[in-house]
Chains A and B, each alone.
Chain A
Amino acid sequence: MTTLPLHSLPLFLENRLRHRVWWMHPILLFILLQPIRPFAYITIGYLCFLALKDYLSMIPTHRMDRGSVLIAYFTIPLLIYWAATDRYGLYVIWIPLVVFLGICLSLYIRKKRFFFKDTIRPLVWGMIPFLFGLGHLVLIMVTPREVAPPLSQNGNVLYLVVLVQFAIFVSLARDLFLRPFKGPPMFTWTSALGIGLITAVFSAIIVPLFIVLPLSYALVIGASVGTAVFTAQGFVQMLQESVRIPIHWRTVQGHGGILLQIAGYTLSAPIYFHLIRLAFL
């Protein structure tokens, strides 16, 4: 028996692969902004599924985890349903409920108590950013409908998407112009601060195009989203390095590589959702 070797790829190819799926973002934007809302919710649910699957494909799983993984997959439609019907309370407690009730009960009944800590830990690490975090896109689309101006529902989403894309662009520009052909990006405090500041300034400039928001809020939202995008990319890179997969290895053919493409939304969507609520409510 020989264990199958993990992926390896020359580092200089990674930046190139990173750009091969740029078309995914305009498509995502179109889907989010089109008027048939359920279609957008289903798309976000499918994105959550792809992201969780990408994550679970990378981490080692035991045969005993299969029931728990199935439960995690079935969480997605319900989570999206709670978000689409604006039941934030249920949305917030749903993952803890599934993890600590559904999965625990399942392991307990199947007499697999020994696998508890090995199963819960990796699943929670996947479900929090890729289901709970990303699902906030749906919440952003449904709230705050009572206080925002008429354009707000599309304006909200568009504003977030533009900010996230800008932060990704700044991050990519830094990699391409400052560190070409030197492999995966470096994550430093200076980079985090720089991307946060640049995104904050950009946010303050573009905010009147999308929603009515005080300048101070626009600056805070810009800085938070920029830093969140940067952190999320770092999270995915850490995750992939921990299982010895180069960061930009899998592209969207066969869906792989989805984590990198949507990483920016996993942390920025919840932060943006709460800051916008803070501003309006």
Chain B
Amino acid sequence: MFKSKPVRWLQKVIVILIIRPILNVLVGINIKNQHRVPKDGPMIVVANHNSHMDTAVLMALFPLNVLYKVRPIAASDYWLKNRAIGWFATHIVNIIPIDRRRKEKQNDPLSPIADALTNGDIVIMFPEGSRGEPEQMSEFKSGVAHLSRRCPDVPVVPVFLRGMGKTLPRGTSLFLPFFCDVIFGQAFTWNGSKQAFMNRIKTQFDLLAQ
């Protein structure tokens, strides 16, 4: 996605002056396997989802020079309902909006994501679909498998997040500092079968959670 220089600069400033200080001084992020943080795209980062903090934390972990390539997938019905939030989401957070309630079958929700991967972007996916209950992991949906099948050479990096559900859970706007863990797993690619792929993701997350 093309982004003007001022917007890229603003994105960096927000990460350096707001997100990173909050995460380092107030929250306290414990990163494990930091050497596995993707340095460049294309890449699919798959994480469990409990909080809006998840996206902020993942974005703050990437090197600043690839920040403009980091593109979280987010629900358009939630993020684009307000113009100001919509501008912030699309320009600063750099989301790829996905319509969760699409009625027309012919609109392929994966095509903008596949295009982003073709452009060399780092896509952040939350296969649970929604934030769910704090510190609970829901069943993963198979969208990530379909995406990986479409882009079989793009590595998938699993990231397990713990504690964000306590810091800023769904249904509250009161942010409270608690320690959080971010654990990066081993990257892997499409292995030819949707079921095997989903099983692999599930196994990786079980291992990272231990």
Contacts and interface: CB of A to CB of B under 8 A. Distances in A.
B177 interface: yes
A274 to B, nearest CB: 32
Interface in B144-200: 162-163, 166, 169, 171-172, 174, 176-181
A253 B136 contact: no
A57 B171 CA distance: 19
Interface string A246-281: 000010011110000000000000000000000000
A4 B176 contact: no
Contacts of A54: 179
A57 B166 contact: yes
A255 B181 CA distance: 11
Given A53-B177, A53-B178, A66-B176, A1 B31 contact: no
A89 interface: no
Contacts of B177: 49, 53, 73
Interface in A152-177: none
A70 interface: yes
B209 interface: yes
Nearest to A67: B174
A54, A69, A253, A254 interface centre (most CB from chain B within 10 Å): A254
A253 B178 CA distance: 14
B30 A1 contact: no
B13 interface: no
A70 B176 contact: yes
A70 B30 contact: no
Given A5-B210, A57-B166, A73-B177, A256 B136 contact: no
Contact of B28 (A53, A66, A70): A53
A1 B136 contact: yes
Interface residues of B, number: 26
A63 interface: yes
B120 interface: no
A245 to B, nearest CB: 11
The prevalent SS among residues of B at the interface is loop
B15 interface: no
Nearest to A255: B28
Contacts of B29: 254
B179 A70 contact: no
B209 A5 contact: yes
Contacts of B133: 1
B210 A253 contact: no
Given A73-B177, A254-B179, A3 B136 contact: yes
B137, B166, B176, B181 interface centre (most CB from chain A within 10 Å): B176
Given A61-B166, A73-B176, A2 B31 contact: no
A56 interface: yes
B178 A56 contact: yes
B138 A63 contact: no
Contacts of A250: 30, 179
A4 B176 CA distance: 20
B135 interface: yes
B173 to A, nearest CB: 10
B179 A53 contact: yes
Interface residues of A, number: 24
A26 to B, nearest CB: 21
Nearest to A251: B30
B2 to A, nearest CB: 35
Interface in B100-140: 132-138
A8 B178 contact: no
A164 to B, nearest CB: 23
A4 B162 contact: yes
A220 B58 CA distance: 52
A74 to B, nearest CB: 11
Contacts of B163: 57
A236 to B, nearest CB: 15
Given A50-B28, A70-B174, A63 B136 contact: no
A57 B179 contact: yes
Interface of B: 28-31, 132-138, 162-163, 166, 169, 171-172, 174, 176-181, 209-210
Interface of A: 1-5, 8, 49-50, 53-54, 56-57, 61, 63, 66-67, 69-70, 73, 250, 253-256
Return the 3 tightest CB-CB contacts between A and B, nearest first: A254-B30, A255-B28, A57-B179
14 contacts: A1-B133, A4-B136, A4-B137, A8-B210, A53-B28, A53-B178, A63-B169, A63-B172, A70-B176, A73-B176, A254-B180, A254-B181, A255-B28, A255-B179
